[in-house]
Copies of this chain bind each other. A is one copy, B any other.
């Protein structure tokens, strides 16, 4: 779990105009002319599962747009305890806090192979000054982060383990019900429980026919059962 350093496989300067996921990302609203204002390279970075994009409390002058994959933001406590505070999917932005401060607030670590764009703060600052079209998207990112933070608190930190895990799976599952489960350690770090208890709870969901093991750690969810477990079990189970 603590294997890798940053080792960024740099793939060259990105062309934002023709970005495949641009509709999703921070630059969604920018117009042709706005791109002329970008005078610094925006790197396209690939990192493997388990690798670290940046570490908390380290200075930084760039933020990152997630193009593909899944990133965990991990808060490391004074006592070394780890807690995952957010998950970043494609379209999300990592490291917004450097626009206000000077250091990153969390460790950002890939859960799956990830591609991100590295955007220097100066580019954001310049665009903010010159065009109002970035402003809305920036606020949207802050808002999304805050919404997810609230969700982690209310959905994933409250109630029984079974309920919490059920809700996590509903968040992680594809619309068709398939999921790749994180390690039990990561599940524990998201749900505020030990990895052993996370493991037991996975077993319990299997027993309840809420999830089925398809292969390795690929599962298929019974979304109805999961939903009923996630909603108010005061009497049941």
Contacts and interface: CB of A to CB of B under 8 A. Distances in A.
Contacts of A140: 100
A175 B78 CA distance: 22
Given A85-B154, A105-B147, A128 B132 contact: yes
A140 B139 CA distance: 11
Nearest to A76: B154
Task: State which size class the interface on A falls in.
Answer: 35 or more
A75 B150 contact: yes
Nearest to A140: B100
A113 to B, nearest CB: 26
B143 A143 contact: no
Contacts of A136: 100
A141 B212 CA distance: 44
A141 B143 CA distance: 11
Output the residue of A150, A154, A231 with the most chain B CB within 10 A. Answer: A150
Contacts of A158: 77, 81, 83, 192
A43 interface: no
A195 to B, nearest CB: 15
A27 interface: no
Given A78-B231, A100-B139, A157-B192, 19 more contacts: A75-B153, A75-B154, A77-B154, A78-B232, A81-B159, A83-B158, A85-B153, A97-B146, A97-B147, A100-B136, A100-B143, A142-B142, A142-B146, A145-B146, A146-B146, A146-B149, A149-B150, A152-B153, A158-B192
Interface of A: 75, 77-79, 81, 83, 85, 96-97, 99-101, 105-106, 128-129, 132, 135-136, 138-140, 142-143, 145-147, 149-150, 152-154, 157-159, 192, 231-232, 234
